[in-house]
Amino acid sequence: MAEKLKILIAEDEEVTRQLLQIAFRDSEQFETRLTTNGEEVLIAYKAWRPDIILVDIMMPHMNGFATLKAIRQTLHDKTTTVIMVSSVTDKQDIVACVKLGIQGYVLKPFEVKSLAATVVGYHQKHKKVKVVT
């Protein structure tokens, strides 16, 4: 059996967090951990080393932008797949996320049944493209 994809979910809204967990629970392919803010993400990230991180932009204590910046710039991680899951539709905010190194952007409300396939697609695309430095 192949190793499970480790998915770290960062979402402060309880209902949305439950929906995100539901999207991945029916498959033997995933192992998920839940956090409610960016500070918790960084703690879980360091301890667990997920393959994929799903991050909400609007979170308390440390928002998604700051979390993404910490992962990419402070922790120097360019390889973990980071996907923003947000209701933010402002193009400048989305472009800022792209510049910080996201692999995907899922707009809320999302379709629970297709979310896992979308996330896996972003992850596979990211892993096929090797960054040459």
Mind listing the pLDDT tens digit for each residue in 25-79? 877 899 999 999 999 999 999 999 999 999 999 999 999 999 999 999 999 999 9
In a domain, 22, yes or no: yes
Q: What is the CATH number of the domain that holds 14?
A: 3.40.50.2300
What is the extent of the structural domain holding 108? Answer: 5-128
CA distances to 2, 23, 25, 130 from 102, in Å: 25, 20, 24, 15
In a domain, 133, yes or no: no
pTM of the full structure: 0.93
H or E element in which residue 96 lies: helix 91-100
In a domain, 123, yes or no: yes
Nearest 5°: the CA angle 49, 56, 102 is: 60
Tell me if residue 35 falls in helix, strand or coil: strand
In a domain, 92, yes or no: yes
| Length of the chain in terms of residues written | 133
Cα within 13 Å of Cα(120), Cβ side: 13
